[in-house]
Chain A
């Protein structure tokens, strides 16, 4: 969130002039948005498993099951010959889950929070951030399992893990940007949801989550080169399994894409959000 957003609103929309209470103070604005997003993320995480017996452990069930199935299929049934396959798959899988689940949930983030969207002066963008944040919490919950797998495989923990926050930040920006686009579009064209569902499925397959991209013929290599998720997953693997610094050139490309998509998402969202209320 930046404060410029509020000022712009003030110029364009006389009816929506008011920033959050006492927003004159810039430090307070940051503090406010941090409080808002963190509290609502916690609320979502809390509510997701409230009144269930396993509670938050359910966040582990899905990726663990996927891990078991993929390991069985690609180690025993159709062996791919990838070293440390469980750690390899899991590293890509949890990063993908964070991304995929966030984008899919973005579809309905506006419709599901109609009461908040109707609230005057509520920054609707935060709903997408909260959604990405909630899935980030899920990612963080599954991270210890990845570390466990690394230890079991005797790969151990390397200094290169220090790059993790950087890669996560890039993924966060990329996911939020796309999420904003999807969330806004789906308010006007409900087709978006169906399109996105298919697109995410296809995207999963063209991202080397459960296979290695090495064996791909040269003429198709570009698919992985331009795919930011492929680059991000590769970077995660480099710093965990590889134990060395990520490919900075590739990350530069991802940064460019993430910032571009992030900016487009924010600008597009901000331009259409004023009429959300009437579309709900």
Chain B
């Protein structure tokens, strides 16, 4: 019925110059005297916050989009607008076809109704007839793994059970666009995996998915394209692998490129892909490649290559490089970073008092950790090569050496030094 969309192709989502502004009101506590003095005029201070500033992008039917960015970059706002929650301050959001949103899981659910009754309510609210729900209710119950309690009131469910029910209900709607928030990161790991698997199946069946996530593996695994938001502006939009790599590199640059180069937090980042180069210290990010890191090998104490390490075990790192010309006194730098970019530690040949004479052609350099008592989790090695005065970066590598730390280490934090308690009888 909208005739002006004839020329528009099979874009499922079209977002044009989207702006969204919020008023953040702060109620200020003031004394009576102050109130009287100000004549009881507005005790509130309103602040304008632009959550989105001219975002444009398109998504074709069947493609899957990941949205990444720091907290406060505007990801959730964008997701809400795509879901039809709230209206843009300026610009246009167009979503063709049927949408199912995991943003507000369990809408219409009532705690006094049973799981089964709530599946009906949830389905009806999402636009299915009773008959259509009836044909898929067995599947929903099976997926949620709540067969045993499906006829007891929802208020007896744990929050994990509630989520399972809501998720199972929502993904059964056969929408052609599924909007997924980080809701998936809640619940037990096994069910999470199951959800991801189901999303992949839906994707293969042609459903488009828009997902916001902080977990880059998830994004890389599920998404064809990634939209990187920063301060409400599209920083980069492109193939998932490339954008995620750049995003991770950026986190790395920020860590490595210490004083003076902290320009990545650019306020004036333009919303186009090309502008990304300018906003970034590009030569820092990529390095001038006069020396290139060709390979990073991680091996255990017996010399076999590994990607998993038990906490507290030793670790060998071997870095292969190729120097295109002879370079005197280069500095090798190595750091261990947690998956989210947190620097666990960083050091360099210079800091350790190791003097590298010169490099030319292919070569390797290695180091040994006699023990790495890290907490369980995913980490990666950040390796970089600088010239002797730290002025030029030759190469950075963050992706070539990811590894997992396993082992039953109790506690939280980054590392788990061997310890013993004393003085207790």
User: Does A associate with B in a complex?
Assistant: yes
Contacts of B81 in A (CB 8 A): 15
Judged by a CB distance under 8 angstroms, whether B39 is at the interface is no
Q: Mark B104-117, 1 if CB is under 8 A from A, else 0.
A: 10011010110001
- Chain A residue at minimum C-beta to C-beta distance from B153: A50
Judged by a CB distance under 8 angstroms, whether A148 is at the interface is no
Contacts of B108 in A (CB 8 A): 115-116, 119
| Contact of A43 with B121 in the complex, beta carbons under 8 Å | yes
Stretch at the interface among B89-97, B264-272, B397-405: B89-97
Stretch at the interface among B127-135, B354-362, B415-423: B127-135
Contacts of B112 in A (CB 8 A): 47, 50-51
| Contact (A118, B110) CB under 8 Å given A14-B93, A32-B127, A274-B87 | no
| Contact of B99 with A39 in the complex, beta carbons under 8 Å | no
Judged by a CB distance under 8 angstroms, whether A40 is at the interface is yes
Judged by a CB distance under 8 angstroms, whether B83 is at the interface is yes
| Contact of B98 with A116 in the complex, beta carbons under 8 Å | no
| Contact of B113 with A43 in the complex, beta carbons under 8 Å | yes
Cross-chain contact of A32 among B85, B96, B110, B129 (Cβ < 8 A): B129
When chains A and B are docked, how far (Å) is the Cα of A15 from the Cα of B85? 9
Cross-chain contact of A31 among B92, B129, B174 (Cβ < 8 A): B129
Q: How big is the A interface, by class?
A: 35 or more
When chains A and B are docked, how far (Å) is the Cα of A96 from the Cα of B120? 33
Q: How far is the CB of B62 from chain A (nearest CB, A)?
A: 17
| Contact of A116 with B107 in the complex, beta carbons under 8 Å | yes
Contacts of B120 in A (CB 8 A): 39
Q: How far is the CB of A118 from chain B (nearest CB, A)?
A: 6
Q: How far is the CB of B283 from chain A (nearest CB, A)?
A: 42
Contacts of B107 in A (CB 8 A): 115-116, 118-119
- Chain A residue at minimum C-beta to C-beta distance from B130: A35
Contacts of B84 in A (CB 8 A): 15-16, 120-121
| Contact of B101 with A14 in the complex, beta carbons under 8 Å | no
Judged by a CB distance under 8 angstroms, whether B191 is at the interface is no
Contacts of A31 in B (CB 8 A): 129, 131
Known: A21-B128, A277-B85. 15 other contacts (CB 8 A): A14-B93, A15-B93, A15-B94, A17-B2, A18-B96, A32-B128, A39-B121, A43-B121, A47-B110, A115-B104, A119-B125, A121-B127, A275-B87, A277-B87, A278-B86
Binding site for A on B (CB under 8 A): 1-2, 81, 83-88, 92-99, 101, 104, 107-108, 110, 112-113, 117, 120-121, 124-132, 173-175
